[in-house]
């Protein structure tokens, strides 16, 4: 007697009443938390969600955007790169700070503040934050301009980006919390630029 064949995984969109996008987000949060950005694959995420891998591109446009969406941050990495990377490499630090301020201030820093708070007590959130900052965002910038020591430079850049987010949106330490963008860029960007392209010892 033949064994019954396992049910084939459903392809494409789920039937009415099932939220494919939400299922992918839930699966992605688990996979990214367990395996990191590099270790998690589109196919594994889709399998966990019970849908075809093509649905990742359909709903999110790829793994990087799915990762960003799983963190619930109001930013699109590809849009940031397209706007910030072109131009003088020696002014990249200023453009990065200006872009992050624009994105964060558009939501009052709420999603960022929530993520930073969660990092303090949850290793999974901390790992996802590290992956997002070092690989998805800063890794791309550093790959374009850094002359050497990319991992150290990414970590140093993260101190400026995450530190700014913590002070401005979580602790709300004045006068930085209410400083205008021009002031913040002028005071923080030079150090970020040194971490990107300058001598770091």
Predicted pLDDT at 118: 65
Sign, CA dihedral 124-79-113-194, equals: positive
Compute CA distances 50 → 21, 57, 63, 99, 180, whole Å: 11, 15, 17, 36, 47
Rg of the chain taking only CA atoms, in angstroms: 19
Peptide bond into 157 cis (omega under 30): no
Predicted pLDDT at 5: 46
The 3-state DSSP class for residue 174 equals coil
> Which residue has tokens 């003088």?
88
Give the model confidence (pLDDT) of 62-93 as tens digits.
Answer: 887 888 787 776 667 778 888 899 999 999 99
Predicted TM-score of the model (pTM) = 0.68
Give the C-alpha separation, 158 to 110, whole Å: 19
Predicted pLDDT at 120: 64
Give the model confidence (pLDDT) of 40-54 as tens digits.
Answer: 899 999 999 999 999
User: pLDDT at residue 185 above 90?
Assistant: yes
């Amino acid at each position: 007697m033949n064994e019954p064949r396992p049910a084939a995984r459903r392809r494409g969109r789920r039937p009415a009443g099932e939220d494919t996008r939400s299922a992918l987000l839930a699966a992605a949060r688990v996979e990214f938390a367990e395996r990191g950005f590099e270790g998690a694959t589109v196919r594994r995420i889709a399998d966990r969600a019970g849908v075809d891998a093509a649905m990742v591109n359909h709903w999110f446009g790829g793994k990087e955007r799915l990762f960003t969406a799983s963190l619930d941050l109001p930013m699109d990495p590809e849009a940031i790169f397209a706007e910030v990377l072109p131009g003088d490499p020696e002014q990249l630090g200023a453009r990065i700070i200006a872009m992050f301020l624009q994105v964060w201030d558009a939501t009052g820093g709420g999603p960022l503040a929530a993520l930073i708070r969660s990092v303090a007590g949850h290793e999974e959130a901390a790992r996802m934050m590290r992956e997002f900052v070092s690989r998805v965002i800063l890794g791309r910038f550093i790959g374009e301009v850094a002359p050497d020591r990319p991992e150290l430079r990414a970590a140093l850049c993260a101190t400026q980006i995450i530190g700014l987010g913590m002070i401005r949106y979580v602790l709300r330490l004045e006068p930085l919390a209410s400083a205008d963008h021009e002031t913040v860029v002028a005071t923080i960007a030079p150090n970020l630029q040194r971490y990107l392209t300058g001598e770091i010892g």
